[in-house]
């Protein structure tokens, strides 16, 4: 068992033949991910990285039975690519693309209502199930196999947390980068819920940042339904109000979306909150030893 992706997941790459798509698809294949093909409209029938290229997601699904898609399509066309994947019956869509207009994502969110597809991201590092399947842009070697699940809005901070977990003598079941945009497909709460239901995940690391209310929502859910220990960290304690810190969604608008407010709610809901990113791994080790 694992969360979202595993050895038998069949992955296609949207934006396969572009430079980003080519680079990361190569890395994914080297990791052992079952990449069955890719989509670049107009290049159907050709071959790339020894895999077939299709004109549409629908063609790719019919020919390969793909159930997971990773999207590297440029921002102006990414919303269209996500909706195309959902329409073609893809179950998990991982959107790496950064810079998709909010207006497009409002449309995507509406389009996905009532559809089977789950969206991860956009503007995220993707999903990795250690030792089995990497659908993303993370450095695979950091994620050694184990029983800790990670959900995070940030890419490099996820790698940091995974590295600390491994150094503390544990490993990762699955890591989910949910993305730092104002509108994302899978929320912190949903990712936590997936981990709570996964027998191979014994502890959860939840990494958030300033802006929005996803962490508070997840914390309240954990208080009511949680069955496994959760260690949390919120980035941006020193970020000034009203300034965007890189991620489109990382901006303090009011009192409720500051790091301090989120950390307080998380602690009240029984989450082991770290005040510095340097102790995420050791905190998890302490909690798991209990």
Active-site residues: which are they? Answer: 247
**Which tokens sit at 196?**
């709570």
CB of 56 to other proteins, least distance (A): 24
**Residue 7 binding other proteins, by CB under 8 A:** no
**Residue 46 binding other proteins, by CB under 8 A:** no
Cα separations in angstroms, 94 against 68, 78, 142, 254, 279: 8, 11, 20, 30, 29
* Contact between 203 and 229 (Cβ < 8 Å): yes
Residues from 144 through 203 that contact other proteins (CB under 8 A) = 152-160, 163-164, 167, 180, 182-183
Check the CA dihedral 290-226-206-118 and report its sign. positive
**Residue 233 binding other proteins, by CB under 8 A:** yes
**Residue 215 binding other proteins, by CB under 8 A:** no
CB of 236 to other proteins, least distance (A): 4
The phi and psi torsions of 212 (rounded to 5 degrees) equal 75, -170
d(CA 9, CA 33): 8
Tell me which stretch binds other proteins (CB under 8 A): 47-55, 94-102, 221-229, 264-272: 94-102
Choose, by CB under 8 A, the member of 83, 133, 218, 235 that binds other proteins: 235
The burial class, CB within 10 Å (0-12 / 13-18 / 19+), for 33 is buried
CB of 70 to other proteins, least distance (A): 14
Classify 61 as helix, strand or coil: helix
CB of 249 to other proteins, least distance (A): 7
d(CA 270, CA 278): 21
Q: Which residues pair with 273 in a beta bridge?
A: 232
**Residue 100 binding other proteins, by CB under 8 A:** yes
CB of 29 to other proteins, least distance (A): 17
Binding track over 47-86 against other proteins, x by CB under 8 A: ----------------------------xx----------
Tell me which stretch binds other proteins (CB under 8 A): 36-44, 65-73, 196-204, 233-241: 233-241
Q: Which residues pair with 148 in a beta bridge?
A: 172, 203
**Which tokens sit at 189?**
């709460």
Q: Provide CB contacts within 8 A for 249, sequence distance 6+.
A: 153, 180, 181, 182, 184, 211, 212
Residues from 102 through 141 that contact other proteins (CB under 8 A) = 102-103, 105-107, 109-110, 125, 137-139, 141
**Residue 259 binding other proteins, by CB under 8 A:** yes
Number of residues that bind other proteins (CB under 8 A): 61
CB of 102 to other proteins, least distance (A): 5
At residue 80's C-alpha, the angle toward residues 79 and 86, to 5°, is 90
**Contact residues for other proteins, defined by CB under 8 A:** 75-76, 99-103, 105-107, 109-110, 125, 137-139, 141-142, 152-160, 163-164, 167, 180, 182-183, 207, 209-210, 212-213, 217, 233, 235-240, 243-250, 254, 259, 275-279
């Amino acid at each position: 068992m694992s969360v979202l992706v595993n050895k038998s997941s069949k992955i296609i790459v949207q934006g396969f033949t572009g430079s980003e798509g080519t680079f990361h698809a190569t890395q994914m294949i080297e990791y052992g991910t079952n990449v069955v093909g890719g989509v670049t409209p107009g290049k159907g029938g050709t071959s790339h990285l020894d895999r077939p290229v299709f004109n549409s997601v629908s063609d790719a699904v019919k020919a390969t039975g793909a159930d997971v898609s990773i999207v590297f399509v440029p921002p102006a066309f990414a919303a269209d690519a996500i909706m195309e994947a959902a329409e073609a019956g893809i179950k998990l869509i991982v959107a790496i693309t950064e810079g998709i207009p909010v207006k497009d994502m409002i449309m995507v969110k509406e389009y996905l209502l009532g559809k089977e597809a789950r969206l991860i991201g956009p503007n995220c590092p993707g999903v990795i199930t250690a030792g089995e399947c990497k659908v993303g842009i993370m450095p695979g070697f950091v994620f050694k196999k184990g029983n800790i699940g990670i959900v995070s809005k940030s890419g490099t901070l996820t790698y940091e947390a995974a590295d600390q977990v491994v150094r503390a003598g544990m490993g990762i079941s699955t890591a989910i980068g949910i993305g730092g945009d104002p509108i994302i497909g899978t929320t912190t709460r949903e990712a936590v819920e997936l981990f709570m239901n996964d027998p191979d995940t014994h502890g959860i690391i939840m990494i958030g940042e300033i802006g929005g209310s996803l962490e508070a929502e997840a914390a309240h859910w954990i208080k009511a339904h949680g069955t496994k220990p959760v260690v949390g960290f919120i980035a941006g304690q020193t970020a000034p109000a009203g300034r965007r810190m890189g991620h489109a969604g990382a901006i303090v608008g009011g009192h409720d979306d500051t790091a301090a407010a989120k950390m307080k709610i998380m602690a009240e809901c029984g989450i082991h909150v770290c005040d510095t990113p340097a102790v995420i791994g050791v905190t998890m080790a302490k909690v798991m030893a209990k």
